Amino acid sequence: METAHGAGAGTNGRSHAQGGLDGGSGKEAAGADSRHGPFGRLGVWAVRRRRLVFGAWLLVVAVLGTLAPRAEHALSGAGWYAVGSESVRARDTLDRQFSGASSSALQVVVTSKRLTASDRRFARVVDAVSRTLRSDARIAGVVPPLPGLTLSADGQTAVVQGLAGAAPDEMVRAASDLKKRLRALGDAEVRVYTTGSSAMWSDFNEANKSAMMKSELLSWPVTLAILLVAFGSVVAAGLPLMLTIAGLIAAAGLLFLTTQLTDVSIWAMNFALMFSLALGIDYALFVVYRFRGALARSRNDVLRAVGETMDTAGKAVFFSGLTVLVSLSAVLLVPSPAFRSMALGIMLSVVFVLAASLTLLPAVLGWLGPRVDRFALPWVSVGRHRSPRFAAWAQRLVRRPFAYGTPALVALVLLCVPLLDLSTGMPSIRVVPRDDGSRLGYQTIQSAFGAGAPGALQVVVPARDAAAAVSAARRTPGVAAVSGAVRSRDGSLVMFHAVPSADPSSAAAKRAIDELRAALPPSAQVGGAAAEFRDLERALSERTLPVIALVLALGFLLLLVALRAPAVAAVGVATNLLATGAAFGAAKLIFQDGRFEGLLGFESQGFLNAWAPVFFFAMVFAIAMDYTVFLLSSAREHRERGESAREALVGGVAHSGRVVLAAAAVMVAVFFTFALSGPLPPKEMGVILGIAVLLDALLVRLLLVPVALRLLGERAWWVPGWLDRLLPQVHFGHGTPGEEPGEAEAPGRAGAKPAAVLAGRRC
C-alpha cells in the first residue's frame, strides 16, 4: 500500500500518517483533526483526498489550457483611453458621422528625398497603398493625399488615410496585419511607413511583447538557480514552478473567456505571468519552509505536519493573497479599459495561485513527505525552520535599534525627496523603437508638415457654431494652423483640424489642448490621439490620490483583522508607503532626469509615464504587503504562544527572514531583467518594481519593521477592549495557544508559556 511520506520515515510516523491518509475514523485521526483550524483541516483534507485534488486541478488545467493559447490572439492592443471622456465621445462621433475619420484611422506616409507626387513612380506607390488599404474589410474608405493638408508643399511627402471601419482594438490588429505589406510597397527611392495612433500601439505592443519574452528567457535560469539555493533541494525547488504553471494556464484560459465579453489588454497576460511567478515562489517558499520544520518536529508525521503548516503558513498565505487582491482592485477605479483589464489579469493569476497554494501544494507535500528534501544540496540543513543567522540579526537590532534604524530611515527619506519634483505624462513616440514604421512615419510628418502635425486635434462642432469655433481655434495660442471644415453625412456637424505648434507630447501641446477647449463653444468636442492621451493623463492624475488612499486604508484594515494590533498594522502600512516612495524617487532620478541613460539603454522623455504612480504603486504595495504578512504573522504566532514583544520580534525575523530574503532575491532578479531589454515602459516597470522590492526586503522588512517593533515594545501588540470585541478571532498559532512545539532540534517541546498567560493579555 502506498505511503504518504516516502521512504525513510520512522515506524511511529508511518502508522500515524498512514491511518490519516486512509481516512480512518480512529481516535488518533480524530484527535489530529481537532487540533487543526480551518486551514489546517483544509490541508489535511487535501492530503487525504489528494487523488481528487490532483484530478480536479488536472481537469482545470486541461480545460482552461486548451483556451490559453488562443488568449494572446484575442487580447487587444488598444484601450489606452479614458472611458466617457470628451475625446472618446469625439472619436465615436467621427466614426459614426464622418466615415471613420477618427484617431483610429491608419495614416500611411509615402515619402522620397528626390521624387515628388507628380512623378509616375511616386504616384504608382500611392495607388498601390490605396489598393492595399481598400482590400482590408476593416478599412471603411481611403482618403488620398490632399494639397495643403496631407501633401507637403514640396510634394515629397504624401499621407494616405485609411478610415476606421472597426473598433479601436480591431484597428490596432489591422495595423499589425497591414504595416509589413504596406512597407514592402516601397523601394530604395520611395519609402512607405504606417503611422497614427493604431500603428503606434501596434508597434508599441509588439516591442513590449518581444521585450517581455526576452526578459523571461533571461530571468528563468537566474530564478531556477536562486530557487535551488533557497530551497536546498531539486524537488522542493520545483514546487513554485508547479504553482506558477497551474496559475498562469488557468488565468490565461479565463482571460480568453473574458475577451468574449469585453476587450482585454495584451499586457494583462504579461503581468499575469509575472505575478504568477512572483507569488508562486513567495507562497511555496513560506509553506515549504514551514512544512520541513513541522515534519522534523513531528518525526515524519505527514498529516500533522501539513495541518500545522496550513494553520500557520497557509493562513498567512491566504491573508497575503487577500492584500494583493485588495491592492490591485483599487486600479479598477481608473476609467481605462487597458488598466482595468491588466488589473483583472493579475487578479485572476493571484486567485489561481492562491487556490493552488491552499489545495494543490499541501496535497503534493503530503504525497512527497520527507521526499521533499530529495537531491538536497550537501551544505543544506533540511528540517530547520528557524534561522540562527536571522535570529542573531534580530538580536542585534534589539540591542542597537537606533544604530541600525536611523541610517535606513534617512536613506529612504532622502530617496523620497525627488518625488517633490516628479512629472508624469503619456508615452511619447520615443517609446517605440527607432526603426519601427510608426516612429519613422511620425518623424517624416513632423519634417514635412510641422512639429505638431502628428498630433493634429479633431474638432467636432454643430454646423451652427462652426464659424465661431474655427475663429476661436485660429486665435488660440499654441495652435499653428486650422484646416478647412468638412461636413458630416447628415450635414448637422462640422469637423476641422487644429494643428498644435509643438510636439504632441510636450507640455506646450497639452496647454494648447486645454486652451483650445476653453476657447471653443460649449457644443464643441476636441478629439484626436493627443486629446485622448491628455484626457487619460488627467483621469490618471485625478485617480492617483484616491487609489493610493484606498490601497492604504484597505491594507491597514486587512492587517488589523489579521494581526489584531493597530500599531503593528500601522507600522506595516507606513513602512510599505516609505519603501514605495523611495522606489519612485529613484525612478524620478533615473527616468525623468535621465541618469544612467547609457547604462540602461533608453532615451529619457523628461517625465515618468503617467500610469506609473497608480498602477505601479498598486503592484509595489501588493508585493510589499506580501512580505509584511509573512514577517508580522510569524511574530504574531510567537505572541500567541505567550512570548514577550522582544521574543516575538526575534522569533518572527528568525522564522520569516530567510523566506523574505530568498523571495526578494528572485523577484529582484526577475524585475531587473526587464530593465535590461526592450523599450522604455518595461524598463520603468523593471526598475521601479526591482528597486522597491530590494529596498523593502533589505531596509524595511528586515530592518525598519523590527526596529519599530523593538521601540514600541509591548505597545505594538496592544488593542483597545472595544476593538478587541469587534475584530474576528484570527490566530496564526497551530492548535491551542501555548502548545506549539519548539524547533526541529527539540521536537515535542512545550511552548514557552501556557495558554493562560496569553489569555490574560489583549494581543
Binning the chain into helix, strand and coil, the percentages to the nearest 5 are 65, 10, 25
Q: How confident is the model at residue 376 (pLDDT cuts 50, 70, 90)?
A: low
pLDDT band for position 5 (50/70/90)? very low
Q: What pLDDT score does 26 carry? A: 42
Q: Is it the case that residue 536 has pLDDT exceeding 60?
A: yes
Q: Using 50, 70 and 90 to split pLDDT, how confident is the model at 641? A: confident
Same-domain pairing of 65 and 99: no
Q: Which of 95-99, 240-244, 308-312, 433-437 has the highest mean pLDDT?
A: 95-99
Report if residue 214 sits inside a domain. Answer: no
pLDDT at 660 over 80: yes
Position 685 pLDDT exceeds 50: yes
- 537 alpha-carbon distance from chain centroid: 19
Is residue 203 pLDDT above 50, yes or no? yes
Q: Is residue 197 part of a domain?
A: yes
Task: Give me the DSSP letters along 644-693.
Answer: -HHHHHHHHHHHHHHHHHHHHHHHHHHHHHHTTSSSHHHHHHHHHHHHHH
Q: For the domain that residue 408 is a member of, what is the CATH number?
A: 1.20.1640.10
d(CA 15, CA 124): 86
- Indicate whether 61 belongs to any domain: yes
Residue 270 clears pLDDT 70, i.e. is over it: yes
Burial of 112 (0-12, 13-18, 19+ CB in 10 A): buried
Let me know if 594 is exposed, middle or buried by CB neighbors in 10 A (0-12, 13-18, 19+). Answer: middle
DSSP character at residue 158: E
pLDDT score for 742: 42
Task: Say if residue 37 is in the same domain as residue 93.
Answer: no
| 336 within a domain of the structure (yes/no) | yes
Q: What pLDDT shows up at residue 715?
A: 93
In a domain, 312, yes or no: yes
Instruction: Say if residue 735's pLDDT is above 60.
Output: no
Q: What CATH number did the domain enclosing 500 receive?
A: 3.30.70
- 565 and 494 within one domain: no
Whole-number pLDDT of residue 678: 66
Torsion of CA 210, 216, 217, 223, to 10 degrees: 170
Q: Among 313, 324, 292, which residue's Cα sits nearest to residue 656?
A: 313
pLDDT value at residue 745: 37
CB atoms within 10 A of CB 732: 26
Can you spell out the DSSP letters for 564-607? Answer: --HHHHHHHHHHHHHHHHHHHHHHIIIIIS-TTHHHHT----SS
The DSSP call for residue 144 is: -
d(CA 629, CA 612): 25
For residue 366, being part of any structural domain is answered with yes
Q: Which of 207, 241, 258 is the last residue of a domain?
A: 207
Q: What is the pLDDT of residues 220-247, one digit of tens each?
A: 787 788 778 777 777 877 888 787 788 7
Contact assessment for residue 484 and residue 492, using Cβ atoms and an 8 Å cutoff: no
**21, pLDDT greater than 60:** no
- For the stretch 586-618, pLDDT in tens is 999 999 998 888 777 788 888 888 888 888 888
Q: Give CA–CA dist 734/372, Å, rounded.
A: 22
What span, in angstroms and rounded, lies between the C-alpha atoms of 44 and 22?
A: 12
CATH code of the domain containing 258: 1.20.1640
DSSP state of 195: E
Q: Which three-class secondary structure state does DSSP give residue 396?
A: helix
Q: 261 with 369, same domain?
A: yes
pLDDT for 34 equals 54
**Residue 728 falls inside a structural domain:** yes
Could you tell me if 487 and 507 lie in one domain?
yes
Q: Cα–chain-centroid distance for residue 90?
A: 31
Alpha helices (H) in 298-336, listed in sequence order: 302-309, 315-329
CA distance from start to end of the chain: 46
Reported pTM: 0.80
Amino acid identity, residue 568?
V
Structurally, how many domains does the chain consist of?
4
501 and 520: one domain? Answer: yes
Output 326 or 526, whichever has higher pLDDT: 526
Average of per-residue pLDDT across 192-216: 84
The pLDDT of residue 512 is 95
* Residues 16 and 157 both lie in one domain: no
Can you give the residue range of the structural domain that contains 699?
Answer: 389-421+541-735
pLDDT tens for each residue of 283-328? 888 888 888 888 888 888 899 999 989 988 888 889 888 888 888 8
- Is 498 among the domain residues? yes
> Is there a single domain that holds both residue 198 and residue 300?
no
For residue 252, give the nearest of 499, 61, 54, 520 by alpha carbon: 61
Question: Which of residues 340, 364, 385 is at a domain's end?
Answer: 385
Measured between alpha carbons, how far is 562 from 316 in angstroms, rounded to an integer? 9
22 and 118 fall within a common domain:
no
Q: What phi and psi values does residue 202 have, to the nearest 5 degrees?
A: -65, -50
